[in-house]
Structure 1
Amino acid sequence: MSAMTNDRLVLTNANVIDCVGERPIVGGSVVIERGRIGEVLDGSRSPDLRHADVIDLDGMYLLPGLWDVHIHPDYLAGVSAVDQTIAFGHRLMEALTEAGVVAVRCAGAAHFMDVAWKRAFEAGQYVGPRVFAAGHFLTTTGGHFLTSGHALECDGPYGFVRAIREQIKNGVDHIKLNLTGGIMGPPWDRHWHSFLLDDELEAAFAICRARGFPVMAHATNPAAVKAAVRLGAHSIEHGYMMDAECVDQLRERDSWYVPTLAISHLTPEQASDPWEKRWVEQRNLSVDLCERADKAAAEHREWFQRALAAGVRMALGSDIRPLKEAALLELGLWVKDGATPRQALLAATRDAAGLCGVGAALGTIEPGKLADLIVVAADPLQDITNLRTLRLVFKEGRLVADHRAGARQVD
């Protein structure tokens, strides 16, 4: 296809997975005008092709672009802030063009590099995914994630309040608050450990409520999950250990749950498909960390399944790198753990946009919404790994990646 010359784009002859209806719209067409979806037509109706660029999708599958709502930059020890920021931008752009990830929510980044790239992409200086920024990962002295370089140690109620105000001043969208340890960390950092005192928790949540900033809560054990939900956390991240009361409270209070299955599931003992095995080989985690993940996996899986069955609001976040592989791996793990391909896909599109507060504008294929779309060659509702057959990526109706045979590089 030559460069688009009109404000109107029509995608024809597609199987449209709109993430609204249960089944694809066979032989459908989508009309895009000035970056927004104008019409979604089934095969019985023909679109107006006048004054439009037209792409015949030849029966391929058109769907909303993917989201990953728990990401971090790479951990680059000894690398300058400038070079880390540049590398993060490249990883974000790769995720958009090579995996169809149209939006990400950051869960902690040093030097406000997530804010920097959010602004660069919004200004049109570079083409990348939408970024919802957190700034630093806020933990305690002797807390979690310290070796990453992305954590900021805080102590005492005012220590947390001041750090949160600093994040807000620097342009974040939400606050990442660490309540507990994790699977990946030193021996004194375990996921059943809780880190914050009650007065620290109360103060941190109070200032977020006062300033209107949602809390993204790293909570990995039942006490921490319930404390975060009680205090008004917008989302619970990980939830490796929960109980029935946690699930009930998540559902009753309409809190989001982002399970990040990859953290406990991607080990040599558990990897089962070629992509997982390749990732595990390249990641080369220590034996100790693999053992910790293996021991946590069954319980993590159980609470993921129980939350899914209970109707808890859930969205897809990976917490792994590289970003161009992360969401695809997490989608596969959702299905492996019992989600249907449609449930997994909704978690990575409609529900992820809803978690980020932009569900009215993004996440489904409906008239009036922004046209952040992807095209894949095979049906992901039959096999979720078909999302790897990426052919086209659109951001606000602009073609930003074309992987069809013989296609020219998109400018």
Structure 2
Amino acid sequence: MRTLLTHATLIDCVEPRAQPDCSVLLEDGRIKEIFPGGAVPAIGDAETIDLEGNYLMPGLWDVHIHPDYLSLAEMPLADQVTLFGHRLQAGLLESGIVGFRCAGAHHFMDVAWKRAFESGQHLGPRLFASGHFLTTTGGHFLTSGHALEVDGPYGWVKAIREQIKNGVDHIKLNLSGGIMGPAWDLHRHSFLLDDELKAAFDICKLREFKVMAHATNPTAVKAAIQLGAHSIEHGYILDDECIELFLEHDVWYVPTLSISHLTPGQATNDWEHRWVKNRNLSHSLCCRADAASDVHQAGFIKALNAGVKMALGSDIRPLKDAALLELGLWVRDGATPWQALVAATRNGAAICGVGDQLGTIEVGKIADLIVVAGNPLDDINQVRRLRLVLKDGRVVADKRAEAR
């Protein structure tokens, strides 16, 4: 199958600029050739799609997600699995999010959907599975339904082996508290003893599994980096030594600004106001988020300016809205639209280990692409003006008629 995309304004997420009037030839699901400056090749039997100057860019990634927070009493497991698949598909088709990295899902529902999408049984995004969110007794995330409480060095080792046995891509470890939790679950508190930490990281290292570390305070962040974490999630409080360790050990940072920034008092546009209204957080949780927001932003900017590797993850739902809100918060907090776009495309693929295949528009890469009507380098919210979504070089969502 060959498709030629013509008259594209190309944002390849390699060069920080929009390149006008490009053509891109797709063949067998990959980018075969890129023609700059109005050059239109002889195409033979290729289907031609005229993009009419719209912006062609890599699809988006959200590298910190969860299914909806529902207990089995609220919704049977089969229905929860179905709902999660629907949410993932909506993220792809309605918002152009081509890749997701899961940060905790009970009963390995993320593994099930990963396999279903990869087999072609169902159309959906690329999904990287974590299985359960592993925490301690009395740890973080318990009300989500996706946490598994484990204790003691061997308890952690056994739980990690269970995740591996069930087909996960990475291991999600909880080292500390959070903002969204009961009064005893505080993000300034660390949860694991030294022997538990060592055992957890040792078994991951032996089995060559990357650790996605929920670490929210300097003590937890430093421990995770020094023990070999692949990524630090949240990092609500970062000191200068944390930044130095990120750079020294070449560790990823996923700041999840949405957790501390999306409250009634902080919402700044219609999308944020609608989300906050629908989310309807309790007053106490809003207060906790508001109190953490400035420090969180300061650490984010410190990491950004220092050149820490950063990828975009939202940690909120619904999945079709989450990454778009997080993109807006990155720019609101001081990132340039280019930095935000790279975090949500090139770096999203890279943190998942597939940066050599996805995340940019370059010859030889898989053609997971989106087309939007405005320039997100001028206004990051132009990514919301979605026109086309392509997966493996095939159009899977066409919204051009809706825009007319």
Same fold (TM over 0.5): yes
Task: Output aligned runs, 1:1-400, within 5 Å.
Answer: 7-77=1-71, 78-400=74-396
CA separation in 2, counterparts of 1:57 and 1:223? 50
CA separation in 1, counterparts of 2:57 and 2:38? 19
Q: Residues 222-276 of structure 1, C-alpha deviation per residue, up to 9 Å, x if partnerless?
A: 0000000000000000000110000010011100000000000000010001000
Kept after mapping to 2: 8 A contact 1:136/1:167: yes
- Residue range with higher mean Cα deviation, 36-45 or 213-222: 36-45
CA separation in 2, counterparts of 1:306 and 1:135? 32
CA separation in 1, counterparts of 2:26 and 2:267? 40
How far off is 1:45 after superposition?
2.2
Q: Which amino acid in 1 is paired with 2:311?
A: A
3-state DSSP of counterpart to 2:17: coil
CA 1:406/1:182 → structure 2, altered by over 3 Å: closer, same or farther?
Answer: closer
Q: Which amino acid in 2 is paired with 1:10?
A: L
Q: Residues 122-172 of structure 1, C-alpha deviation per residue, up to 9 Å, x if partnerless?
A: 000111000000000000000000011100000000000000000000000
Structure 1: 5+ residue runs without aligned partners?
1-6
Kept after mapping to 2: 8 A contact 1:108/1:135: yes
Kept after mapping to 1: 8 A contact 2:23/2:38: no
Q: TM-score under structure 1 normalisation?
A: 0.97
Q: Residues 81-105 of structure 1, C-alpha deviation per residue, up to 9 Å, x if partnerless?
A: 1111000000000000000000000
How far off is 1:43 after superposition?
1.6
Q: Which amino acid in 1 is paired with 2:11?
A: I
Q: Which amino acid in 2 is paired with 1:31?
A: L
CA separation in 2, counterparts of 1:12 and 1:382? 22
3-state DSSP of counterpart to 1:43: coil
3-state DSSP of counterpart to 2:401: coil
Q: Who is 1:4 aligned against?
A: none
CA 1:377/1:146 → structure 2, altered by over 3 Å: closer, same or farther?
Answer: same
CA separation in 1, counterparts of 2:218 and 2:283? 27
Q: Residues 157-205 of structure 1, C-alpha deviation per residue, up to 9 Å, x if partnerless?
A: 0000000000000000000000000000000000001000000000000
* Stretches (4+) displaced over 3 A: none
Equivalent residues, number:
402
CA separation in 1, counterparts of 2:44 and 2:270? 46
CA separation in 1, counterparts of 2:241 and 2:42? 54
How far off is 1:49 after superposition?
2.0
3-state DSSP of counterpart to 1:91: helix
How far off is 1:22 after superposition?
1.9
CA RMSD of aligned residues (A): 1.0
Structure 2: 5+ residue runs without aligned partners?
none
CA separation in 2, counterparts of 1:129 and 1:141? 33
Kept after mapping to 2: 8 A contact 1:350/1:362: yes
Q: Residues 268-296 of structure 1, C-alpha deviation per residue, up to 9 Å, x if partnerless?
A: 01000100000000000000000000000
3-state DSSP of counterpart to 1:104: strand
How far off is 1:406 after superposition?
5.9
3-state DSSP of counterpart to 1:15: strand
How far off is 1:44 after superposition?
4.2
How far off is 1:48 after superposition?
2.4
CA separation in 2, counterparts of 1:76 and 1:103? 23
Q: Who is 1:3 aligned against?
A: none
